[in-house]
Amino acid sequence: VANVAAARHLLRHKMPALYRIHERPSAEKLTDLGQFLGELGLRLNGGTEPTAKDYANLLEQVKERPDFHVIQVVLLRSMMQAVYSDGNIGHFGLAFPAYAHFTSPIRRYPDLMVHRALKHLASQESPETFDYTHQNLKAMGEHCSATERRADDATRDSADTLKCEFMLDKVAETFDGVISGVNSFGIFRLVKSTARP
């Protein structure tokens, strides 16, 4: 609620700031998703412009299915990645018209920029006298989004290393799993159960 209120306040006062934005899924991703769901006898409502509610309704509809986790992963992969931007276009995944990182649990530089913008407004200063222009904020948003992706990649690499270490004594064992995706470098799978003899 605080993140939404902060974003609304900044917009109302035409204050330059960093917003957390999340674009709608691309036409290509929606086409791929539609083909996947069609093979399961499912459909995402909303046509070429589904809403977050359409995604939520589909998840509710399939929550008792044994392939729920696969469907959930594919739905998530059909979405764009959230980024920081000096221009607000809303947050599709959260279904908010405006969102800013004001109280995120991990302190980030974009939070600090939102705090600075709010402090500037609280000091009765004009948005035109803010130390950061839209151009500055645009560059900061791109930089912060890139460093966030780099941190996510490092986290994934660390997790992959630990998974490999965990599996060292399980080489040649057989596991049941569900393939949740295929691409040029391999497959994604969800492990369903423990090893079998």
Record the pTM.
Answer: 0.82
Q: Find all residues with CB under 8 Å of 150, minimum gap 6, and list them.
A: none
| Secondary structure string (H, E, C) spanning 29-86 | HHHHHHHHHHHCCCCCCCCCCCCHHHHHHHHHHHCCCCCHHHHHHHHHHCCCCCEEEC
The model's pLDDT over 82-101, given as tens digits with 9 standing for 90+, comes to 999 999 999 999 999 999 99
7-11, 92-96, 192-196, range with the lowest pLDDT = 192-196
How would residue 197 be classed by pLDDT, with cut points 50, 70 and 90? Answer: very low
164/162 Cα distance (integer angstroms):
5
Q: Provide the token pair at 43.
A: 């459909």
| Beta bridge pairs of residue 182 | 187
The model's pLDDT over 144-177, given as tens digits with 9 standing for 90+, comes to 999 999 999 999 999 999 999 999 999 999 888 7
Stretch 32-36: mean pLDDT:
93
For 121, other C-beta atoms within 10 Å of its C-beta total 18
- Give CA angle at 10 (7, 12), nearest 5°: 105
Mean pLDDT of the chain, nearest integer = 91
Do you know the residue count of the chain?
197
Q: Quickly list H helices, 48-194.
A: 52-62, 68-77, 109-122, 134-167
